[in-house]
Structure 1
Amino acid sequence: MTEKHDPIESLLKAVKHNTLSIDEAKQQLSHYDELGFAKIDLHRKKRQGFPEVIFGEGKTKAQLIKIIESLLKHNEIILITRIDKSKANAIIAHYPQLEYHTIANIVCTPIDSIEKTEHYASIICAGTSDLPIAEEAAITTEVMGVSVQRFYDVGVSGIHRLFAHIEAIRKGKVSIVIAGMEGALSSVVSGLVDHPLYSVPTSIGYGANLEGVTTLLAMINSCAPGTSVLNIDNGFGGGYNAAMIVKMIESH
């Protein structure tokens, strides 16, 4: 068995051998970066395997730029969710090394620069109206270093479209199903695969959909086992959880 790398021990050895100054070591050991309006969690990657993710909604352009500066200073991967076009353009102008995904409303480290897993997650989207949430899930998964296969517009109103891709979906190690309306796609897929499935209800639907509450309740009440349900429109959560599953599989 491969011996686990101890970052603290490596840090102490670097100080001992004068390849790292005491001030540099103190900075690396710091638990967070104090920005006044935010405390950037610098140990998130050590605790959870992935750096702190920035929720873009509600933050100013200036705040976002300062937070990114802190993360880049510590060589962290950047993932900003729920970012509108105006803020995204300001960030890209300041940090042209990042990229903006318009459908997902995400700014991140370039996807192609991140090494991906051999196994993949299946991202399954019911309809075109659900694409922003599906892409939020897909991009999150990819930024976390996990390969994805996208299967879009395969909702139950034309279920033959799903069956045309079912073998490829089954080859994934985890599925994320994104659907609005009555959310039936989640139960259908869960009954056809032998791996974990994360359901993401969207707020897409007519009046009695209640902005996704009906979909959420339908998915929670699914009779198909092996399903975990995320919050309404939480594509990020679905992608994050799916990435953890695949990375855990490949680490063993």
Structure 2
Amino acid sequence: MTMDNLIKILKLSENEVEAREALQNYINNLNDNQKNNNNIEDLGYAQLDLDRQRRTGFPEVIYSEGKTTRQLKQIFKKLSEKNDRVLATRVSKKTALQVISEIPLAVYNESARTLAWSLNPIKKKDNKYITIVCAGTSDLPVANEALVTAEMMGCNVRLISDVGVAGIHRLFKHIEIIRSSDVIIIVAGMEGALASVIGGLVSKPIIAVPTSVGYGSSFNGVASLLAMLNSCSAGITVVNIDNGFGAGFAAGLIINNQ
């Protein structure tokens, strides 16, 4: 409600209760706008969204590529002051060590290239599991990014690695564990066939992550991406190439809304 509308209501209203309600609504709107403004931390080069956890269930995540060490340190520190957990992705080891020098409880996962901090131990949702199935050892960095993300969202996560279709017998000894999961993340490069294989064996939500692993005609993950998008197995959701974070976040939302 604008000030002009408020004045019109007050002038036209012969009902004192109606006039008081209009005035109170106007004051409430002002307070809400002020509260929203306070939920933005302006660092000059970044506008930190401090209200994101309330809206989406998880605080703003820092995508670190392209940021200077100084910028990442300042953003990470500010978010840790306002939230109970902070996650940064695509962090180099050199940069991570400099952030940890100021925030000693932050934990760096070198394979995932993630830097994670929590004020308190993160409570996990009992009896709900995400299983990450990784085709090859070369796909592990992406799988680990998904794993760290989902764990930061309070999920129990199991990782099964190196069970690609070139040795498909390796997959079958884990199939009952995979079937018992609440959400399955499949990480695969090359031709991306693992998602279709598992999709035909389970009745649970599948999030497929194509990776840029592969020789020339894999086109840095495009071949795997197209294979997963065109899978004949129904119900497979596909995220972008190497987007372990996106898969972990989506799986976390599914678990936390069950």
**Fold shared by both chains (TM-score > 0.5):** yes
Question: How far apart in 2 are the matches of 1:99 and 1:112?
Answer: 13
Q: What amino acid sits opposite 1:41 in the alignment?
A: D
From 174, 182, 186, the equivalent of 2:191 is: 182
In structure 1, the partner of 2:230 is 221
Instruction: Give the letter for the 2:233 counterpart.
Output: A
> Percent identity between the aligned chains?
49
The one-letter amino acid paired with 2:71 is: Q
The CA distance in 1 between the partners of 2:140 and 2:115, in whole Å, is 17
Superposed structure 1 runs of 4+ greater than 3 Å apart? 26-29
Residues 173 and 59 of structure 1, relative CA distance in 2, 3 Å threshold: same
Aligned counterpart, 2:213: 204
Q: Which residue of 2 aligns with 1:71?
A: 79
Please name the residue that 2:168 is paired with: 159
Unaligned runs of 5+ in 1: 1-25
Change over 3 Å in CA distance of 1:163–1:111 after alignment to 2? farther
Per-residue CA deviation, residues 13-38 of structure 1 (Å, 9 max, x unaligned), is: xxxxxxxxxxxxx7787231111010
Match of 1:22 in 2: none
Deviations 1:198-220 (A, max 9, x none): 00000000010000001100110
What amino acid does structure 2 have at the position aligned with 1:44?
R
Contact kept in structure 2, 1:137 and 1:238, CA below 8 Å: yes
Match for residue 57 of structure 2?
Answer: 49
CA distance in 1, matches of 2:179, 2:217: 33
- For the pair 1:236 / 2:245, whether they are aligned, the reply is yes
**Aligned counterpart, 2:255:** 246
DSSP 3-state at the match of 2:209: strand
Tell me how far apart the structure 1 counterparts of residues 119 and 84 of structure 2 sit (CA, whole Å): 14
**TM-score using structure 2 length:** 0.84
Per-residue deviation, 1:112: 8.6
1:28-63 deviations in Å (ceiling 9; x for gaps): 872311110100001111110100000011111111
Distance 1:247 1:147 in 2: 11
After superposition, where does 1:140-159 map in structure 2 within 5 Å?
140-159=149-168
RMSD: 1.5
- What displacement does 1:154 show? 0.7
Cα separation, partners in 2 of 1:28 and 1:68, compared to 1, 3 Å: farther
Cα shift at 1:190: 1.0
Query: Retained in 2: the 8 A contact 1:111–1:142?
Result: no
Corresponding pairs, count: 224
Higher radius of gyration, 1 or 2: 2
Shift, 1:161, TM fit:
1.0
1:141 aligned counterpart, secondary structure: helix
* Residue pair 1:99, 1:110 contacting (<8 A) in 2 also: no
SS at match of 1:194: coil
